[in-house]
Amino acid sequence: MNPPDFAPHRWEKLGEESLAATRIFNLRRQRYRHPRRGDARDFVVIDSPDWVNVLALTPEKKLVLVSQFRFGIDDFSLEIPGGVIEPGEDPLAGGLRELREETGYAGRNARIIGRVHPNPAIQNNTCHLVLVEEAVPVAAAQWDYDEEIAVSTLPVDEVYALAQAGRITHALVLDALLFFAPLWAAAKGGPVI
């Protein structure tokens, strides 16, 4: 292994150019120079708006879940509500908007409990993880044209059990459960996982 005092270099960004644009992200080539070697290298990055995922806790201490067909894995996926934050939109507001649009739920005491990078190696955005309490149905859901969502609620501990059993596989949903674990343990007075 390398010596304990080894520090990786910070590469110097020389420029970038767009390779392709899609509805929800752009593909970008970034050119970097290694500060010691001096040579230039290209790396492709997925340039995306920030995302938000929402843990909505009902008065009965259940979590609001959504199931939908996902084109990436070509299959259904059990998740928490979430989506893309709009330009200029506050992440917390974006989370509450997605919750309401996808499920018709709204709640109180909304706050960000974590922020993660979906993939620091190849992707530049942040996913904000939001917790909302006292969530109840307040309106009809308003789906996008291609959205179809089954909404359900499940006791928190059962959601953690589903996650550990491999029934919830969305990496960013599982991150929300990691950040929520100490809060839920404090609320119920015992360990979660």
Helix (H, G, I), strand (E, B) or coil at 188: helix
Q: How many angstroms separate the CA atoms of 173 and 176, rounded?
A: 5
Between residues 109 and 119, which has the closer beta carbon with respect to a copy of itself? 119
Q: How many angstroms separate the CA atoms of 94 and 77, rounded?
A: 21
Contact flag: residue 115 with a copy of itself (CB under 8 A): yes
Contact flag: residue 33 with a copy of itself (CB under 8 A): no
Contact flag: residue 155 with a copy of itself (CB under 8 A): no
Between residues 6 and 60, which has the closer beta carbon with respect to a copy of itself? 6
Contact flag: residue 124 with a copy of itself (CB under 8 A): yes
Q: How many CA atoms lie within 13 A of 103 on its CB side?
A: 30
Between residues 22 and 88, which has the closer beta carbon with respect to a copy of itself? 22
Q: How many angstroms separate the CA atoms of 85 and 108, rounded?
A: 20
Segment near a copy of itself (CB under 8 A), from 54-62, 71-79, 90-98?
Answer: 71-79
